[in-house]
Structure 1
């Protein structure tokens, strides 16, 4: 059973379930930081993620101009991140209680499904973004019909359905287990879930993203100066997409490689105790790094996304114009009432 005791799929076990039963001679150092700093970090990620992703969604929804295809995908990515961070407070409380689950079986299943859906949906929304930019830059004439808002919305719907279907085994297998006076939210068949996440949630989508990104970079490098000028809007979108992809890889690749110590142990390179210690600490750090991606994306939209900043400025102008118009109408109404009152007094 994995030593990592966090909220991510395949590793949600109580810390009390590990260690001595598996390897009595392994000395375990204090992991008090898992019960103190980790809950505070998760709560911070949750609060910031909720605020930032709602902010991004409001900009995309309230702006008067329709979203581009890339923005449709990025807004759905923000929705997937919002889904994740909205359920993280449950795990903060669980970590504070030394990973004892107090919210019941229904929430045990629901929270794990939401987290696993984020794992799948996030990466496949980035796949859609990569394919969109690939078609726009590498095949701009032959596949233009596929890059329409209607197709983008249908694709996003398919991704949400796919994420839900792939999360069904998690909903079925999750259960509450009592061990050493601690009730944990766990499951028996962890290896199957981990293999599905590794293949369907990492290797396949990353291969598609890698193919698209390599060809996008080639297309950008081979563009003439004139084409760059005429496709300036696309160039802004390309920069944001590449930065978001890079941030995703930095945050999520270590998470998917957290099983490397176990593989090294099975190959006879690491001892049981050493592999467990490395897996525990690296697994914790890599997990919370993956969580941070849900906060990082909205920040990147503001810092790198020039189109997003333009939308934000236009939205503020719309609000300012509405406020000015409201103030003007109110002032006019008050003046008219004042004039009528004076006329009535005179009469």
Structure 2
């Protein structure tokens, strides 16, 4: 990545990755666990956010947007698991490869931008509450912001939609999907640099800086507040959001930048490490429900209600069993 459109000799690191079944199995296991947690956690979150949480504040709208992107990733990961277990052989055609690759990376960067939007919303509501309350049509602004985020991400990732991302490797008898990119996907080295660096700087570093500023400002504002419970929740939320950025998104984007520079200018590769870092990127979809819990009071209340109902039901059943045992004794 990238390779020529004609027959090329792949570097040793990439060839070793394609022949390393142990790594494929490890990544597949991680993706399987992520898929299960993703579907259950975000399925419950989407149900609560849409049908049990009112009113639909801007934060709720952003959370619904984030949940939908997470569920889309959960639907795409089984195809990636199948691809890995077949030894990096893609048999579903170039169009399906492009669609699933787009879903994968759209989830990463829409998640980054949506968490930035949630951070801005909390920053305005806590640090500038009077001006924030005077802003009308906040729901409309939130919806427009979600549309803008999707448009921005799809614009940056546009080359992925217009290129055949599959690549045949005759010596291994496999056809890869997005693991070897054709150099003709973009016309010049400068275009490649612009594409890759815009992913890293525009869709990660800038949102990370904005998000960090917002949550640090919120914590500083609440530091002198008497509402210690609110302050603790804000600190926990800030910790989880920054944890997602540093653990899930930072390694992937840093390695993407390093790999791109090495590949474009020095013909070297750190692709094995980059491939492993994608596993960390997928973990964000498992941590997002925790963000909803600490960011939304109504979501937190409804979830506690469900847990209490279930615990009461289990408690009642245990009492009934205890009574039956006493009657039978």
Normalising by structure 2, report the TM-score: 0.75
- Residues 217-238 of structure 1 show CA distances to partners (whole Å, capped at 9, x for unaligned) of 32222x332xx37xx6687466
Deviation at 1:29, TM superposition (A): 11
Deviation at 1:138, TM superposition (A): 1.9
Superposed CA RMSD: 3.6
Q: Could you tell me how far apart the structure 1 residues matched to 2:304 and 2:118 are?
A: 24
Deviation at 1:140, TM superposition (A): 1.4
Deviation at 1:316, TM superposition (A): 7.3
| 2:225 alignment counterpart | 224
Report if aligned partners of 1:130, 1:212 keep a CA contact under 8 Å in 2. Answer: yes
| 1:182 alignment counterpart | 174
Q: Could you tell me how far apart the structure 2 residues matched to 1:2 and 1:303 are?
A: 41
Q: 1:33 to 1:145 in 2, by over 3 A?
A: farther
Report if aligned partners of 1:239, 1:304 keep a CA contact under 8 Å in 2. Answer: no
| 1:250 alignment counterpart | 247
Q: 2:275 aligns with which of 284, 293, 312?
A: 284
Normalising by structure 1, report the TM-score: 0.71
Report if aligned partners of 2:27, 2:276 keep a CA contact under 8 Å in 1. Answer: no
Look at both structures and tell me which one has the larger radius of gyration over its CA atoms.
Answer: 1
Report if aligned partners of 1:73, 1:152 keep a CA contact under 8 Å in 2. Answer: yes
| 1:172 alignment counterpart | 162
Q: Could you tell me how far apart the structure 2 residues matched to 1:30 and 1:149 are?
A: 50
* 2:258 aligned with 1:260: yes
Equivalences for residues 288-299 of structure 1 within 5 A: 288-299=279-290
Q: Could you tell me how far apart the structure 2 residues matched to 1:50 and 1:28 are?
A: 29
Q: How many residues align?
A: 293
Q: 1:129 to 1:305 in 2, by over 3 A?
A: closer
Deviation at 1:171, TM superposition (A): 0.5
Q: Could you tell me how far apart the structure 1 residues matched to 2:206 and 2:309 are?
A: 43
Equivalences for residues 83-162 of structure 1 within 5 A: 83-146=72-135, 148-162=138-152
3-state DSSP of counterpart to 1:141: helix
Q: 1:128 to 1:235 in 2, by over 3 A?
A: farther
- Residues 94-137 of structure 1 show CA distances to partners (whole Å, capped at 9, x for unaligned) of 11111111111111111111112112211111111111111112
| 1:338 alignment counterpart | none
3-state DSSP of counterpart to 1:142: helix
Deviation at 1:295, TM superposition (A): 1.2
Q: Which runs of 5+ in 1 are unaligned?
A: 4-15, 320-347
| 1:72 alignment counterpart | 61
Q: 1:72 to 1:116 in 2, by over 3 A?
A: same
- Residues 193-214 of structure 1 show CA distances to partners (whole Å, capped at 9, x for unaligned) of 3222112211221222233233
- Residues 18-53 of structure 1 show CA distances to partners (whole Å, capped at 9, x for unaligned) of 334x99xx9989722123222232122122212211
Q: Which runs of 5+ in 2 are unaligned?
A: 187-191, 311-329
